[in-house]
Amino acid sequence: MKRFIFVSYLMLAGGAVAQDADVKDRNEVNTTARPGSMMEDSPVKFPKKGALPSKYNPDIRQEREDAEKDYFIFASPCRSLKQIEQIQQQMPKGEFKVAKQDWFGLTRTHKVLTEGGNLHIMAVGDSIVNDIMRSGWTGKLAEAYPKAKIKTTVYVRGGGGCQHYSKEGRVQKYIIPRKPDLVYIGGISQRSVDAIREVMHQIRKDLPQVEFFLTSGVFGTTDPRNADVLAKAQHSGSSDYGKELEKLAREEGAAYLDMTTPWAQYIVSSGLHPHRFYRDAVHANADGEQILSKILMAWWGENRH
């Protein structure tokens, strides 16, 4: 029998004022121990441990399930539409462009969104995926598609790429029983597209109708103001990995979105140092989360017709 723990995200964040993620970062490249060149001109002083205080701790009390050590399973969205609007109204403005939504690999998802029905989205990944889902973007998705009944489950591990989820029966134990309709895989901790492919195949073996949504990485320690450096980042949409991930998506009939490029565009166009959108040297603060929400909704929502 599943055991559910009801907790406030104030507690998950590590205190009433902290905005640290419950998921501890274990990424070997993007770590607070090696914070990258952005620190050289940063106007922000991060604490040695933990994160900067947050003005907007998530305001929805969450349902969290038991999971193995270092892994976390919880429901999303973690923010109300009212709080999302409040954050987006006061956050620094920026501009970006996203690829046109063609609904490739999302036939069943598109039908449910536009015609009605149940849609269970399950996000799988690392602390960056944790932050993406904490933005509350699936709440905005539900607002954009009121005919659909959307449920969201988040399954994350610090530094967690598919090289972790493909092992020790995790797909069979934690993903298959929840019967997601759409699995989202992203983050900055994927070591190879082969591991992503393996997880997709394991899921499809038991859930042949499941659809997939893959994205490149955002945040981390790479400076978004430097296109050449960003193109060399392992998780970037403009890197060789990004090209391989897009190819994988086409081969496997999955949707793909380069989130790296519009994320960098937003930050550069804001005219602010990137750390204005960070809570520590790796992760987004509440404003940074909403950049990601805006990008996702520009792709999922504004182009929905």
Structure confidence by residue, pLDDT tens digits, 240-274: 999 999 999 999 999 999 999 999 999 999 999 99
For residue 154, list its beta bridge partners.
Answer: 74, 123
Which two three-digit tokens encode residue 304? 């929905």
Q: If we measure between CA atoms, which residue out of 192, 187, 214 comes closest to residue 284?
A: 187
CA distance 168 to 170: 6
Write out pLDDT tens, residues 61-80: 878 888 999 999 999 999 99
CA distance 18 to 55: 9
| pLDDT class of 11 with cuts at 50, 70, 90 | very low
Q: Give the single-character DSSP code of 53.
A: B
Is 13 within the bounds of a domain?
no
Q: Is residue 305 part of a domain?
A: no
For the stretch 143-180, pLDDT in tens is: 999 999 999 999 999 999 999 999 999 999 999 999 99
Q: Which long-range contacts (CB under 8 A, 24 or more apart) does 221-225 make?
A: 221/29, 221/30, 221/31, 221/34, 221/35, 221/36, 221/38, 221/281, 221/282, 222/30, 222/36, 223/36, 223/37, 223/38, 223/274, 224/263, 224/264, 224/267, 224/268, 224/274, 225/264, 225/267, 225/268, 225/274
SS3 30: coil
Mean pLDDT of 13-41: 56
Q: Is 126:185 a contact under the CB 8 Å cutoff? A: no
Q: 119: which strand partners?
A: 150
Residue 195 covered by a domain: yes
In-domain check, residue 1: no
Assigned domain for 39 exists? yes
Query: Can you give the C-alpha Rg of the chain in angstroms?
Result: 18
Tell whether 64 is covered by a domain. Answer: yes
How many domains, the chain? 1
Range of the domain at 287: 19-300
Instruction: Quickly count: other Cβ atoms within 10 Å of residue 34's Cβ.
Output: 12
187-242 pLDDT, tens per residue? 999 999 999 999 999 999 999 999 999 999 999 999 999 999 999 998 999 999 99
Tokens 């559910």, residue located: 4
Q: The whole model's pTM is what? A: 0.90
Residue 23 is predicted with a pLDDT of 66
Q: What is the CATH number of the domain that holds 29?
A: 3.40.50.1110
Tokens representing residue 227 in the block: 């296109």
